[in-house]
Amino acid sequence: MAWLAVILAGLLETGFAVCLKLSDGFTRIWPTIAFACFAVSSFGLLTLALKRLDVGPAYAVWTGIGASGTALYGMIWLGDTVSVLKIVSICLVLAGVVGLQLSGAAH
């Protein structure tokens, strides 16, 4: 259940990063409110998960999902540039997170 909380927290991290962009420096009210809700929820779930998980692997999964999700969202819906190097880099981030888990560091 703790890993499910980390995964959901990572998805919420994507939400708060995207809303941070959409808030235009906290000048737009609804994206700013959404940012705050996503951020509090993401950090809250991560905090709960860290009661049962080692910090290194859990944080790696959280940031990996957040960074990859934000980059993909930006490329798909916000008009960020798409390149082979970006796609390969996202895959490397995810491979690093998986590698950390498979290394036994999470046990």
**48: exposed, middle or buried (Cβ count in 10 Å: 0-12, 13-18, 19+):** middle
**For the chain, what are the domain ranges?**
2-105
pLDDT for the residue 102 = 83
pLDDT at 38: 98
Q: At residue 72, does pLDDT exceed 90?
A: yes
Chain-centroid distance of CA 94 in Å reads 11
Could you tell me the pTM of the whole model?
A: 0.90
Note the pLDDT of residue 100. 83
Q: How confident is the model at residue 95 (pLDDT cuts 50, 70, 90)?
A: very high
**pLDDT averaged over the chain?**
94
What is the reported pLDDT for 106? 47
